[in-house]
Structure 1
Amino acid sequence: MSAVEAGALGGVTSRRMILAGGLLTGLLPQALWADEAQSLVQTTYGPVRGRKQAGLHVFKGVRYGADTATTRFAAPKPPTPWQEPVEAIDYGPASPQAGSEPNQSEDCLFLNIWTANLDARAKKPVMVYIHGGAYNAGSGSSPLTDGSILAAEEDVVVVTINHRLNAFGYLYLGQLIPELAPDSGNAGQWDLVLALTWVKANIARFGGDPARVMLFGQSGGGAKIASLMAAPAASGLFHAVATMSGQQVTASGPLNATARAKAFLDVLKVSPHEVFTVPTARLIEALNTADPINSTQKLYFGPVLDQRHLSRHPFWPDAPPLSAHIPMILGNMANETRNLIGRSNPAAFSLNFDALPSWLATHMRTDISPAHVIATYQAAYPGISASDLFFAATTAGRSWRGQVEEADARARQGAPTWVYRFDLRSPEDGGKWGAYHTLDIPHAFRTLAASGPMTGTGPEARKVSRELSSALVSLARTGSPQTKGLPSWPLHSLKRRETMIFDTTTRVEFDPRGVERALFQTVPFIQWGS
């Protein structure tokens, strides 16, 4: 057992969790009860006690699944019911991952709830946030995704979720040891299904309406949502979705996913049967392995077309009929890659045109002639600098293209779909980073004060934050993002490509950056990791 895992188990002990191993869920009292003073709620698995904070009931670290160390690379199991109240005042552990995320453990199936009251008759809209991190990192406990402000100001119930990531959630062993790990390639998605099943069964006890559960997520979180839209197991668990800079047009094919699993096992020097007992820390170290499909990248882990959780690609060859009735917002940032690439490659801000072709070839993730891309941009934007061209083209070809594919597929389907682009620049470093990837998270949660230099707290940031977050709340409440504070927001159509631009002057534009869209639609879209 690792020190991280030991600490997590110690935290469970300190919260006095008492498991009633032989008690069946069906035998638990079904009456909805809650003590407002103590923020005590009876869930389907046992009572949890949150904390009253500034008029809100806040529950952190609510268990929705059993310790995944006992189900490594398998679909999750519900928790064993308990009888005595469990303290839900601290965030639960995040999935094991590389990087600086604190408090990690394979025992990571926890969620967090913010709500103004615990009356089951309240039936407030429910906003469930799925965190980003490209299937590899992150958690639902970031200060930027604290649900306090939305819950207090908009009278909604906010939920954030932890689930398995990277190899723990998406290492596909289904072709190597199908009898032992048939669900391994989508274990992290099965976690989300279990979490949403918990929400549907329990959220009324926290004042929420189980018939109005909206999913929203940024980057990898949006991609996870797109995948859930094509997963039969998730059908009926949500009524609306919003994806922010996160698309999943195609899943990883089973052959490529198997090649990645073999590369991972080779580095570990273990057989498929032995990987179940490899220490957590060693699995994390092996994530740094070069991807066998694209050796310029680290191993890709994400949803797999396994014919169990996913029997079709999320948005190819069309939008999933399963979720055609679900209202959907799709958004992207105007300058996605200025931080996605620029943070780790500062030389990108001082490129010249001699170096530009090789930089584009490396970073566009699209098989298109760099010379043709450069000529097209120079014709459309005379005088554009090499660096500005680089960031615009990588944003359009790598980050924005999947959103175009999904929105167009939904339009062909006649599904209710709205598109936005976030243009308000960050004040950080004099505006150098533009409207970059992740900048919309604190705007969506109204957590500008927690974002530091990302957003600032000036009047323009506050205005756009209220506009974007109110649209998300409206989608949760009514199934439409239209609010009194926004211009009329038309549905996305192939003919006009209506797009809400969130900026100092928020407005609707038709086919913004149409030249760039048309350029990259001349080549097939192949999503990274497919």
Structure 2
Amino acid sequence: MTVCTTEQGAVRSSLSADGVAAFLGIPYAAPPFGPRRFRAPDPPQPWAGVRDATAYGPTVPHAPYAPPFDTLIPEDVIPGEDCLNLNIWTPAPEPGADLPVLVWLHGGAFSNGSGSASAYDGSAFARGGVVCVTLNYRLGSDGFLHLPGVPDNRGLLDQVAALRWIRANIASFGGDPDRVTVFGESAGAMSIGVLLATGLADGLFRRAILQSGACHHFLRPSSAALITDRLAAKLGIEPTLEAFVEVPLADLLPAQAELRAEVGARPDPALWGEAVLNMMPFEPVTSGLSLPGPDCGVDLLIGSNREEYRLFLAPTRLLDAIRDSGLRATMAAYGLNPDEALPVYGATRPTATPGELLSAVATDWFYRIPAIRLAESVPGSHLYEFAWRSPQFDGRLGACHALELPFVFNRLHDPSYTPLLGPHPPQPLADAMHKAWLSFAKTGNPGWPAYDTTTRTTMVFTEAPTPEDDPRDQERLLWEGVR
């Protein structure tokens, strides 16, 4: 058994065979229920004696993914109210080790996910000489619904509370509070983008890795108010804090899931505002796009996957259902001129169907261009693109959204990843990506030149990772002044 001390009390774990200690389910904030519902997080209560930390704690309430994503994207459900908790993997559970710290923010469109999925086990990072932390934060309406009388972005406030807890306590687990790298994917990366742009977490991390998300995904208050009104109407209540507090989770969670489905089925800006473009009714609420400048003081590693949007089109069979009219309408909605953009995207994809071209355009709008804009705004940033193609769905899944996760965590063997990876993913690629993330956490340099607007050097992760200058430059240029 191994015991470490926190400000709230002592916690106990056991060492694994490879010398990694895992401390699981440690509360970093009080349970967000009862009078704390829809409020900023409160500190956790202290405990007497030594708290057992050998099992994951409760997960944040959320509705399951809709099929087929429920079998493709790993997540778990653990009941209980003490859901604002975190997990720590460390190779040196004692003060004075002063190891770099990696803090993971999971994805899930701000409505799904948890820090306790086996897919995010931090043992490999700990074996590489860093302390790895994963955490839960409030999701859906509890985390992001715009309500009068309470703070917006409660899910982000949870993340900040966790980072403050880490700063105060991580030295006991062998971590250096001045060498914290926060990393996240999708909604987790988008969260980091907002934290960087708003300064909410200033001084709480030194480096950041943003995977498939940056600063461009948010709702302005006017759009967020539309979402609140629609959800209230669905529940038959007034759009007030008092009314939402009275709705049981058993009713609220299915209504949230139905609302997300309705945004896609009826993409009318009059109903949903800006959410029609990214199909996320629950996300950070801010007044507008803001990018951190060159003085943000945080080292950045930013990237995306080459065919992100195929995750949402191949498994649902929409890849074959999209027609040219739908492709052109989507381009126009994103701000491109279809007559100018279609020849450019088609030039490197001469046999592509309308669905495959839409996937390329949506990948750029959602992920690649926001990553580039963030790298442009903070000189010295490093940029990557994950390009290994999954064989799943007859090879049509490609280098899709979330596919880089098992390579980053070096967990190709985890069965929860098999539906995305297929039977024989390349271990050398996992070794290369995992090593780059470790190197960045330790030194701020992942192993290739920084991005600048002259060379635009981008590490392309395939089975033979190679840096390239300005991949698909003509497609990038289409978005100048647009995105």
TM-score (norm 2): 0.88
Tell me the distance in 2 between the aligned counterparts of 1:282 and 1:420.
42
2:228 maps to 1:254: no
Equivalent residues of 1:214, 1:240 under 8 A apart:
yes
Distance 1:160 1:359, change over 3 A: same
Q: Alignment partner of 2:302: what SS?
A: strand
Match of 1:47 among 1, 6, 10: 10
Q: Is the 8 A contact 1:366 1:398 kept in 2?
A: no
2:364 equivalent to 1:392: no
| Amino acid in structure 2 at the alignment position of 1:452 | T
Match of 2:53 in 1: 88
Matches within 5 A, 1:232-311: 232-249=199-216, 251-271=218-238, 272=240, 273-287=242-256, 288-289=258-259, 290-291=262-263, 292-294=271-273, 300-305=281-286
Q: Does structure 1 residue 57 correspond to structure 2 residue 36?
A: no
The residue aligned with 1:358 is 326
Residue 336 in 1 paired to residue 300 in 2? Answer: no
| C-alpha distance 480-186 of structure 1, shift in aligned 2 (>3 A) | same
- How far apart, in 2, do the equivalents of 1:221 and 1:422 lie? 17
Establish whether residue 192 from structure 1 lines up as the match of residue 159 from structure 2. yes
Tell me, what secondary structure is at the counterpart of 2:420? coil
**Cα 1:387–1:475 shift into 2, 3 Å:** same
Show CA shifts across 1:61-99 (max 9, x none). Answer: 111110100311110000111112221121112211110
The higher radius of gyration belongs to: 1
Aligned residues of 2:319 and 2:356 also touching (Cα < 8 A):
no
**Correspondence 1:220 to 2:192:** no
Work out the CA distance in 1 between the residues paired with 2:279 and 2:441: 36
Secondary structure of the structure 2 residue equivalent to 1:494: coil
Report how many residues are paired: 455
How far residue 50 of structure 1 moved from its aligned partner, in angstroms, is: 1.6
* CA distance, structure 2, for counterparts of residue 364 and residue 105 of structure 1: 46
CA contact (8 A) 2:332 2:338 kept: no
Q: CA deviation at 1:298?
A: 5.9
Contact 1:111/1:159 (<8 A) preserved = yes
Q: How far does residue 457 in structure 1 lie from its aligned partner after superposition? A: 7.2
Q: Which segment drifts farther, 242-251 or 424-433? A: 424-433
Q: Is the 8 A contact 1:97 1:104 kept in 2?
A: no
1:511 partner amino acid? D
Q: CA offset at residue 158 of structure 1?
A: 0.6
Per-residue CA deviations over 1:235-294 (Å, capped at 9, x if unaligned) read 111010001111222532122212222222222222312211221121112212245225
Distance in 2, matches of 1:218 and 1:360, equals 29
The answer to whether the Cα contact below 8 Å between 1:449 and 1:457 also exists between their aligned partners in 2 is no
Residues 364 and 394, structure 1, Cα contact 8 Å, conserved in 2:
no
Whole-Å separation in 1 of the counterparts to 2:94 and 2:51: 20
**Aligned residues with identical type, % of pairs:** 33
Aligned runs of 1:113-512 on 2, under 5 Å?
113-152=88-127, 154-173=128-147, 176=148, 178=149, 181=150, 183=151, 185-249=152-216, 251-271=218-238, 272=240, 273-287=242-256, 288-289=258-259, 290-291=262-263, 292-294=271-273, 300-305=281-286, 313=288, 316=290, 318-320=291-293, 324-344=296-316, 346-349=317-320, 355-362=323-330, 366-410=334-378, 414=379, 416-450=380-414, 451-455=417-421, 458=424, 461-482=426-447, 489-512=448-471
Q: Which amino acid aligns with 2:195?
A: L
Deviates more, 1:237-246 or 1:224-233: 224-233
Letter in 2 for 1:48: V
State the Cα deviation string for residues 378-400 of structure 1 (Å, max 9, x = none). 34544444443232222223332
Give the secondary structure class of the aligned counterpart of 1:449: coil
